[in-house]
Structure 1
């Protein structure tokens, strides 16, 4: 079985928006055969939590020097560009 990957999802309060994004990523990566564990955080916490993540997805601005592939989460809320960002996340997780 493939090693579980960690996806850190950041939003303003780590409640509603990040939950929507987390469910979408968990479902899409499961369909693609990539086991993931999502962790949610506030944007202010992302720097301290990014070290344990394989990728970061943020619905609000976060530092761009995290040392991890970082993706915009807005496509998960609008639907525009969602397929592309999922493909990009998959590519980053597969390394």
Structure 2
């Protein structure tokens, strides 16, 4: 499987998106998806960044304009911050990747 491109967004594009990205990377590796490239950004930058990098999916912890991101699969991942329900969300993301991301 090729490297999966993920865009991670939070309110400021610093701490929370980093925690979400690292948690996502670890949980996906545990599910057999070891190669991910995660770019972090602020929620207000997400539409422009998505258009620039064309990610396979987006993870976010802040409100984002989903109506402007219809071309991308988006996952709200507050569970990656709290820890409660993180495994289930990771399963959903891994299932999506395995079904849609091809070489």
TM-score using structure 2 length: 0.85
| Cα separation, 1, equivalents of 2:17 and 2:88 | 19
Determine the structure 2 residue equivalent to 1:75: 79
TM-score using structure 1 length: 0.91
Indicate the SS of the match to 2:65. Answer: coil
Q: How does 1:1-95 map to 2 (within 5 A)?
A: 2-34=1-33, 35-51=35-51, 52-65=54-67, 66=69, 67-94=71-98, 95=100
Could you tell me which runs of 5 or more consecutive residues in structure 2 were left unpaired when the two chains were aligned.
Answer: none
* Structure 1 runs, 4 residues or longer, greater than 4 Å off: none
Q: What's the Cα RMSD here?
A: 1.1
Higher relative contact order (CA 8 A, sep 6+): 2
Q: How many residues align?
A: 94
